Amino acid sequence: MGQGRGWEGAVLRLMRAKDYGFTVTHAEDVTPDYRRLRFTDGGMLAATGVHPTMWVRLWFDNAGKPHQRAYTLVDPDPAAGTFGLEFALHEGCASDWARAAKPGDTIEATVQGTGFDVPAPAP
């Protein structure tokens, strides 16, 4: 994982970003233009923990070139190693991938620390 991602991938590696493989476990068409996917995390949540607004970069093939998009985790469950992502469907390689995704499909992802600290006292 993480090879052949051009300058974006090289910069992320220098910033100590970590790569993971996610597997689709469930796909739901919420509307004709909105799709929700559930994933297993490939060990990510155990390694990184979870916090509000946590996001990941997914890597898509765009006519043979790497293309990344960021998505915020929805309902992460660190104990189960699962989470959801929600996709607005429009033209583009990320939407095309999400439209066709089905259980068992995999995708590469990169996680870079966000430096989020929970405020004290907690809201």
Q: What is the CATH number of the domain that holds 52?
A: 2.40.30.10
Average pLDDT over residues 90-96: 96
Range of the domain at 42: 6-111
Residue 123, domain member (yes or no): no
19 or 100: which carries more pLDDT confidence? 100
- Residue 67 is predicted with a pLDDT of 92
Residue 70, domain member (yes or no): yes
Residue 122, domain member (yes or no): no
Residue 73, domain member (yes or no): yes
Residue 121, domain member (yes or no): no
Average pLDDT over residues 53-75: 93
Residue 48, domain member (yes or no): yes
pLDDT of residue 3 exceeding 70: no
Chain position carrying tokens 């966000």 = 114
pTM of the complete model: 0.82
Residue 81, domain member (yes or no): yes
From its phi and psi, is residue 9 left (phi > 0), alpha (psi between -120 and 50) or beta? alpha
Contacts (Cβ under 8 Å, ≥6 apart) of 10: none
Residue 1, domain member (yes or no): no
Q: What is the count of structural domains for the chain?
A: 1
Q: Measuring CA to CA, which residue among 26, 36, 37 is closest to residue 103?
A: 26
Contacts (Cβ under 8 Å, ≥6 apart) of 36: 27, 28, 30, 74, 84, 85, 86, 87
